């Protein structure tokens, strides 16, 4: 069963407390390539590598089926600044 955007959003909300998720399936529907903007208070004070590790740990099982997962990880404060 292919991995869906909705599934990934639900998983990241539950596992890392994501407050905003913008996930796009860039794989023509096969569920193997995604681009994501992930906003979570858990990223506060963490360098990029640690943020990515948090996401990768949350999606460990799914990453076995996903070929490409491009992510941008932001704190809620960074997200607010980026929007304005």
> What confidence tens digit (pLDDT) does each residue in 16-63 have?
999 999 999 998 867 689 999 999 999 999 999 999 999 999 999 999
What mean pLDDT comes out for the span 77-81? 97
Q: What is the pLDDT of residue 80?
A: 96
Q: What is the pLDDT of residue 51?
A: 98
Calculate mean pLDDT across residues 65-79: 96
pTM: 0.93
How many domains would you assign to the chain?
Answer: 1
Report how far residue 57's alpha carbon sits from residue 52's, in angstroms, rounded to the nearest whole number. 8
Classify residue 7 as exposed, middle or buried by CB count within 10 Å of its CB (0-12, 13-18, 19+).
Answer: middle
- Residue 53's domain comprises 5-83
Tell me whether strands 20-25 and 33-39 are parallel, antiparallel or unpaired. Answer: antiparallel
CATH number, domain containing residue 46: 3.30.300.90
Inform me whether the pLDDT recorded for 70 exceeds 80. yes
């Amino acid at each position: 069963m292919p991995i869906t955007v909705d599934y990934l959003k639900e998983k990241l909300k539950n596992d890392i407390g994501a407050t905003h998720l913008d996930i796009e399936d860039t794989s023509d529907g096969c569920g193997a390539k995604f681009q994501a903007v992930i906003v979570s208070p858990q990223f506060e004070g963490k360098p990029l590598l640690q943020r990515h590790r948090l996401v990768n740990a949350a999606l460990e099982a799914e990453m076995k089926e996903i070929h490409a997962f491009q992510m941008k990880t932001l704190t809620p404060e960074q997200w607010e600044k980026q929007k304005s």
